[in-house]
A and B are shown apart, each in its own frame.
Chain A
Amino acid sequence: MRFLLDDEQREFARSLDAMLTASDTPAVVRAWAAGNHGPGRGLWARLAQAGVFALAIPEAYEGVGPLPVELAVAFTELGRHAVPGPVVETVAAGVLLGGVGGAAAKEWLPRLASGAASATLRMDGYGPYALDADAVDAVFTVTGDELRLAPGPGALSVSCDPARRLWRPGPGGELLASGPRVARAAGRAARWAAFATAAQALGTGEALLRATVAYVKQRTQFGTAIGSFQAVKHRLSDTLIGLEFARPLLYGAALALAGEAPDAGAEVAAAKVTAGEAGYAAARAALQLHGAVGYTQELDLSLWLRKARPLRDAWGTPGACRARVLADGPAVSAARPPVSEDFAQ
């Protein structure tokens, strides 16, 4: 057992962090929210060059995957820097097409892996919307056991997080594949989507915590830094505890995905609900401890604050994840006597 990232994985995180820090991601997010995808596309190309979009795509399709540990590392960094766009959806579309195989896989996967194309998708069970459909090269839909390429998007809805632009694909579009293999591939794609979203939520929470710790150290009231007050300290301690206990679940899920473990769905669900709730709790703490200035869109903090809630819910709501854990989790041991006897005394 060695449940730690290795040097190469740490270096991968460091290099992504450095690249994203230099990319002024807040400006990219603001442009994206205004419908200007130019800076986002530039960032996409740099992420692709770093190999991010090849991690879930097998070598047969010019990817390097599946490498779920590296994917968790990468998506934690994407979350930390509030990278906009259908990053999770592009990964999930790759997993979906890889599972289906055939002409669609050959056509799309090498391009998704290299960053030449981006994609989004909508699947039964995860809401009616596709994210950022106006910014991608393909919108895939899975309805029942049919995989389709949706026709180009119409008018997008405005979201509470303007950087997450939603579109509701209608029925129809070109039928790419159908049958049980589509349903199987869709299940696998949903697990990877939930997994990548969990990593993004964790990174979002880390960034919110870091920003808030910095703020409460320099903000003074009553003649002293507010970070010296216990009410402030304890809220931030709880935020850290939430994030630090989500992280091992994320990497436990990564190993379950890597080994195609039978309970991978439950492991991913556990990571998703825990990271999603921890990221959202970090957002609540960050908003509260920044006070009124945190409630403004002008402060860059808002870019992370607005993301935490949708990430908590996307690709597996907390309720759905908890139900999955109980349904698919480890079998209950028969070592103990029946409960009624325990309590008969």
Chain B
Amino acid sequence: MDLSYTAEEEAFRAEARQWLRANVPAEPLPSLETAEGFAAHREWEARLYADRWSVVSWPAEYGGRGVDIFRWLAFEEEYYAAGGPGRVSQNGISLLAPTLFDHATDEQRARVLPSMASGEVIWAQAWSEPESGSDLASLRSRAVRTDGGWLLSGQKTWSSRAAFADRAFGIFRTDSEAAKPHHGLTYLMFDLSAPGVSVRPIGRLDGKPAFAELFLDGVFVPDEDIIGEPGQGWRIAMSTTGNERGLTLRSPGRFLAVADRLAGLWRTHGDPSDTALRDRVADAVIGARAYQLFTCANASRFAAGADIGAESSLNKVFWSEYDIALHESALDLLGPDAELAESEWAEGYVFSLAGPIYAGTNEIQRDIIAERLLGLPKGRR
């Protein structure tokens, strides 16, 4: 058993640290869920890309450095320890890109990935529909064959980043005669500025337009923007959500950095006699370490050739609930200042509240854990 990094890995880490120290903005950027903040975060993505730090795990031809999972983990630790801004390209990088690497043509990869890496094109997801949330396979938005492509119609909702993003990806029903609901679905990409697309931003709990509704009325999608075979969309999408919940959506570095800040807040603001709050701060520090080590174990299995399957549901439930508890402890430490919205803690808290809901609700994740990891029988939800 070994938790150490090689000399080459440490050299990579040091290079990242040096670059981040010189380049991370001294002042936090405005919230990425605002027009101004979105633009600032897009500029930051371009800066990362210019020096090939935006997608370190991708092959060099698409703007990456081709590093393995361990160097990626090290980069993420350095990134968040240096106070790196939230990643506005996250949806594209961690959801669409893995799908493209697994299922797209070379032409599609060459066309889509570099502009994703540079922040020139920011991607939104288009999964949920008003009547299809956890039961995603029941979705009704359709894509109908036309000359040289498909015409989309229907409605998508809860599309993260869609208020300001450039393009979107999702699954659409292309065969309404298919034997089962999750057959006859197709994975595709489309322009949010295309004729027939209306974007209605939705204010999240604090009012910021973090997501949007998409109304689609005869939106043309050329054949070149279909990923994989028509009708295979469910299988392709599930490989994406597996990835999303697995190793790459929330890196341990992110939580280690926030837990570190919380421990600092405890030292400066904590009342030593408040052992109840002290215990929660300790739990935040322990939880970040547990998540880091859990990820190291999974990364080791992955590097040894194992698939990360239903185990990723353990991950998702853990980090999403952990994130809320961590921020709640910070708010308790801040006392009356906790109510002020313009702080990183308040922003982080509001963001964390969505964690147990998106990327597959935690109720669905617990069903997956029970059925696939513990072997319990399927039942009515």
Closest to B268 in A: A339
Taking a contact as CB atoms under 8 Å apart, the answer to whether B281 and A326 are in contact is yes
Among listed A83-91, A131-139, A234-242, A303-311, interface-contacting one: A234-242
What distance in Å separates the Cβ of B58 from its nearest Cβ neighbour in chain A?
Answer: 21
In angstroms, Cα B290 to Cα A251, docked, is 10
In angstroms, Cα B370 to Cα A321, docked, is 31
In angstroms, Cα B297 to Cα A249, docked, is 11
A190 cross-chain contacts in B, Cβ below 8 A: none
**B373 at interface by CB-CB < 8 Å:** yes
Also in contact, A240 and B289, with CB within 8 A (given A213-B376, A227-B377): no
Interface residues on B, range: 35 or more
By DSSP majority rule, is chain A's interface helix, strand, loop, or mixed?
helix
In angstroms, Cα B172 to Cα A109, docked, is 70
A247 cross-chain contacts in B, Cβ below 8 A: 297
A124 cross-chain contacts in B, Cβ below 8 A: none
Among listed B43-51, B93-101, B194-202, B338-346, interface-contacting one: B338-346
From B266, B282, B374, B378, contact of A236 by CB (8 A): B374
In angstroms, Cα B363 to Cα A2, docked, is 32
In angstroms, Cα B303 to Cα A5, docked, is 14
Among listed A17-25, A44-52, A163-171, A329-337, interface-contacting one: A329-337
Also in contact, A244 and B314, with CB within 8 A (given A4-B297, A249-B290): yes
**A216 at interface by CB-CB < 8 Å:** yes
What distance in Å separates the Cβ of A8 from its nearest Cβ neighbour in chain B?
Answer: 11
In angstroms, Cα B257 to Cα A270, docked, is 18
**A38 at interface by CB-CB < 8 Å:** no
From B5, B282, B290, B379, contact of A248 by CB (8 A): B290
From A5, A233, A240, A325, contact of B1 by CB (8 A): A5
Closest to A229 in B: B379
In angstroms, Cα B19 to Cα A174, docked, is 62
In angstroms, Cα B24 to Cα A336, docked, is 12
Also in contact, A237 and B370, with CB within 8 A (given A252-B289, A332-B263): yes
From A230, A318, A330, A336, contact of B379 by CB (8 A): A230
What distance in Å separates the Cβ of A84 from its nearest Cβ neighbour in chain B?
Answer: 28
Also in contact, A238 and B366, with CB within 8 A (given A325-B285, A332-B264): yes
Also in contact, A227 and B376, with CB within 8 A (given A255-B3, A270-B289): yes
Taking a contact as CB atoms under 8 Å apart, the answer to whether B375 and A213 are in contact is yes
**A298 at interface by CB-CB < 8 Å:** no
A246 cross-chain contacts in B, Cβ below 8 A: 290
A240 cross-chain contacts in B, Cβ below 8 A: 314, 369, 373-374
Of B294, B301, B373, B374, chain A has the most CB atoms within 10 Å of the CB of: B374
Interface residues on A, range: 35 or more
Closest to B266 in A: A326
Taking a contact as CB atoms under 8 Å apart, the answer to whether B371 and A335 are in contact is no
The digit string for B284-327, where 1 denotes a CB below 8 A from any CB of A, is 01110111011011011101100000000010011000000000
Q: Which of B349-381 contact A (CB under 8 A)?
A: 363, 365-367, 369-371, 373-381
The digit string for A41-70, where 1 denotes a CB below 8 A from any CB of B, is 000000000000000000000000000010
**B81 at interface by CB-CB < 8 Å:** yes
What distance in Å separates the Cβ of B353 from its nearest Cβ neighbour in chain A?
Answer: 19
In angstroms, Cα B369 to Cα A1, docked, is 27
**B65 at interface by CB-CB < 8 Å:** no
B263 cross-chain contacts in A, Cβ below 8 A: 326, 329, 332
From B1, B268, B337, B342, contact of A69 by CB (8 A): B1
**B260 at interface by CB-CB < 8 Å:** yes
Q: Which of B220-274 contact A (CB under 8 A)?
A: 257, 260-261, 263-269
Taking a contact as CB atoms under 8 Å apart, the answer to whether B342 and A3 are in contact is no
**A76 at interface by CB-CB < 8 Å:** no
Taking a contact as CB atoms under 8 Å apart, the answer to whether A248 and B297 are in contact is yes
**A291 at interface by CB-CB < 8 Å:** no
Of B81, B261, B278, B282, chain A has the most CB atoms within 10 Å of the CB of: B282
| Between-chain CB contacts (< 8 Å), 17 pairs | A1-B3, A3-B300, A4-B301, A217-B377, A228-B378, A233-B376, A237-B366, A248-B293, A248-B294, A252-B293, A270-B289, A319-B279, A332-B267, A339-B265, A339-B268, A339-B269, A340-B268
**Apart from A3-B1, A236-B370, A326-B282, what are 18 other A-B pairs with CB-CB below 8 Å?**
A1-B4, A1-B299, A4-B300, A4-B304, A234-B363, A237-B365, A247-B297, A248-B294, A249-B286, A251-B1, A255-B1, A319-B275, A322-B282, A335-B83, A336-B83, A336-B261, A336-B264, A343-B337
Closest 4 CB pairs of A and B: A228-B379, A233-B370, A248-B293, A322-B282
